Amino acid sequence: MKTKQAAAPRGKRVLVVNDTQEILELFEDILRPMGLDVTLMSFAPRELERVRDARPDLIILDLVFGEKEQLGWQLLQKLKMDRSLADVPVVMCTAALRAVSELQGYLTEQGVVVIVKPFNVDQLEEAVRSALAIPGRAVDLPHTAGAGA
C-alpha cells in the first residue's frame, strides 16, 4: 500500500543553527525530503544579521554544551529581542534537561518547542510540523485486513 503524506510545505524556509557540520548535514537530510528549503548556519559573531538574511519561517537551534553552552541561549535571547525575528517559531534541541526545566516557563511563554536529545526523526518531524502548523502524515498501515485501496 502507498503512504499518503500531507501537502508538502513548499516555500517554507527552515534555518538550522548548530556548531557541528555533520549534525547540520543530518538535519538537512531529514528536512529537505519534507519539502522544506533548508539553510544551515554555524554560530558566528554576526549571527543575527545572517538569520535576518535567511528570512526563516522556522529556526531549529541547538543548545550547545560545555564552554559554548551560552551560545544557544544567547542567540535565543537575541532572536526574541529582535522585532523582525521575535515571531519566528523556534525549535530548540538540547540534552540540558536541568537548564530547560529551570527555564520551562520562559520557553513556554516564548513559544519555544524543546526536543530533548537524543531524539528520533519522527519527533523532529512532528516538532517541525507543529511549529509550522503543517498537518501530520496519514499513513496506510500494512497488513490491515479489509482495508480499502
Task: Concatenate the DSSP letters of all residues of the chain into one string.
Answer: -PPB-PPP-TT-EEEEE-S-HHHHHHHHHHHGGGT-EEEEE---TTHHHHHHHH--SEEEEE---GGGHHHHHHHHHHHHHSTTTTTS-EEEEES-HHHHHHTHHHHHHTTEEEEESS--HHHHHHHHHHHHT-PPPB-PPTT-TT---
142 within a domain of the structure (yes/no): no
Q: Is residue 146 part of a domain?
A: no
**In degrees rounded to 5, what are phi and psi of residue 62?**
-90, 135
With CA atoms as reference, report the closest residue to 16 among 2, 30, 35, 1. 30
Domain that holds residue 119: 13-131
- The pair phi, psi for residue 69, each rounded to 5°, is -55, -35
In this predicted structure, what is the pLDDT of residue 65?
53
Residue 68 confidence class, pLDDT cut points 50, 70, 90: low
Q: How confident is the model at residue 8 (pLDDT cuts 50, 70, 90)?
A: very low
Residue pair 94/63 in contact (Cβ under 8 Å)? The answer is: yes
Read off the pLDDT of residues 71-117 as tens digits, 9 standing for 90 and up.
888 899 999 999 999 999 999 998 888 878 888 888 888 889 999 88
The count of structural domains within the chain is 1
pTM score over 0.85: no
pLDDT tens digits for 26-59? Answer: 999 999 999 999 999 998 778 899 999 999 999 9
Question: Residue 133 has which C-alpha cell?
Answer: 502548523
pLDDT score recorded for residue 138: 37
- Report the candidate in 83, 76, 81 with the shortest Cα–Cα distance to residue 103: 76
Q: Flag whether 136 is in a domain.
A: no
The answer to whether position 111 is within a domain reads: yes
Query: In this structure, is residue 85 part of a structural domain?
Result: yes
d(CA 112, CA 94): 12
- For residue 50, give the amino acid letter: R
Q: How confident is the model at residue 119 (pLDDT cuts 50, 70, 90)?
A: very high
7, 138 Cβ separation under 8 angstroms:
no
Predicted confidence at residue 139, as pLDDT, reads: 34
Q: Report yes or no on 143 lying in a domain.
A: no
In this predicted structure, what is the pLDDT of residue 122? Answer: 96
CATH of the domain at 94: 3.40.50.2300
